[in-house]
A = this chain, B = another copy of it.
C-alpha cells in the first residue's frame, strides 16, 4: 500500500493529505515542492558552508587506525541529508553570524553535530540489527557490530575533542546534555517497544529524545555562535525542536507507507520490531476489539508475526486513516516551527527555513 493510494494526493506531495494552512503566515507562499526540494534550496543557499563542513568532516574522521576512516567514509559517502549541519548554518546566519576569514567556528560545530548524529546512527543500526541505511548496506552489515559500536564511540569522542579545542562552554553544554537526552530517548523507545499501552505523550517523549533534541540543539548552537539574544536563541531552539518532531513523525508514517527503494530502508521495520509509533497507536485506538487483538498479538509478541500480518497491518492502518491522522500531527509541529521563526528577521533565509518546515510532511524518504 502507498499512502498516495489511501489519501488524496496533493500536488507533488507523495504523502499528501488535505492540509489546512489557512491563517498561516507562510501559507501564501507555500512551495510547490517536497521536503527534498526545500532542503536542496537551503543547501544551495548555504553551499559554501556545506562544502567547508564536508571537508571538516573528512579531515576530522581520520585516525591512524585505518578501519576508522574506512567505516566512517561508508556512511559519509552514502550521503544523507546533512540536515543538522544545515540547521547550524542557517540558524547562525539568520541570527546574524558573519564568519571572518579565519572564523570556522560554525563549520567545526556543524561537523561535531553531524559526528554525534552519525555515532547514534551507527549504534542504532547495531541495536536494531538494521541491514540497510540510506539505501545501502548498513555499516554493521559491512564491517560488523564491533566496529560499528567502536567507531561510533570514536566519533562521539572526536566531536568533544573538536568542541574542547573550539572552547565554547555553552555549545559543549548544549551538545553534551543533548547527547545524554539522545541516549535516554533510545532507551525509552526500547522500554516502550512491544507495549501497546504507550500513550501519544510517551511516543512524543521518545521521538523528542531520539530526534527532535538534536535538531533543537543544532539550531541553538547556531544562535550561540552568533551570540544571539536569549529570545532568538529560544526561538531557534523551538524551531529545531518542532521541525525534528515533524520529521520523525513523517519518518514513522513512511515506515508504513513508502516504497522501499525510495526510502532507502526496509519498509515495515517498525512493525516487525514491535515499535509502537504513532500510526500504530492511532490504528489501535480506532480499531475494533478484534483488530485490537490483532495488534496486541503482532506488536506485543512480534516474534510470531507472519508476512500476512504485515499486509493486514497496512490494511488496518489504511482503513482507520491512521497515516492521515499521523501526518496531521506532523503538520501541527510544522506549523509550530514556522511560528517560532516569527521573531527572526524576514528574508530569503527565513523563508527557506519556513519552506523546510512546511515541506517536512511532503517527502519520500
Contacts and interface: CB of A to CB of B under 8 A. Distances in A.
Contacts of A65: 184, 187-188, 191
Interface stretch (A14-22, A171-179, A218-226, A274-282): A171-179
A339 interface: no
Nearest to A193: B146
A291 to B, nearest CB: 29
A184 B64 contact: yes
Contacts of A147: 187, 190
A176 B172 CA distance: 12
A343 interface: no
Given A63-B184, A160-B160, A191-B67, A153 B179 contact: yes
Interface stretch (A161-169, A294-302, A306-314, A352-360): A161-169
A151 interface: yes
Most chain-B CB neighbours within 10 Å: which of A65, A67, A167?
A65
Given A67-B191, A160-B160, A176-B160, A183 B127 contact: no
Contacts of A169: 164, 167
Given A149-B126, A164-B169, A190-B146, A154 B183 contact: yes
Contact of A184 (B68, B176, B183, B190): B68
Interface in A186-228: 186-188, 190-191
Nearest to A158: B180
A186 B180 CA distance: 23
Contacts of A154: 180, 183-184, 187
Interface residues of A, number: 44
Contacts of A163: 176
A261 interface: no
B164 A182 contact: no
Interface string A101-116: 0000000000000000
Interface string A125-158: 0110000000000000000011101111110111
A176 B191 contact: no
Contact of A164 (B151, B172, B183, B191): B172
A127 B149 contact: yes
A89 B42 CA distance: 51
Given A68-B187, A173-B165, A127 B145 contact: yes
Contact of A149 (B67, B149, B160): B149
Contacts of A84: none
A191 B147 CA distance: 9
Nearest to A167: B169
A22 B310 CA distance: 75
A237 interface: no
A153 B123 contact: yes
A194 to B, nearest CB: 13
Nearest to A122: B149
5 contacts: A63-B180, A64-B184, A154-B187, A165-B173, A172-B172
Given A68-B184, A164-B169, 16 more contacts: A65-B184, A68-B183, A68-B187, A119-B153, A120-B153, A149-B149, A150-B187, A151-B187, A153-B182, A154-B183, A156-B179, A157-B176, A157-B177, A160-B172, A161-B179, A163-B176
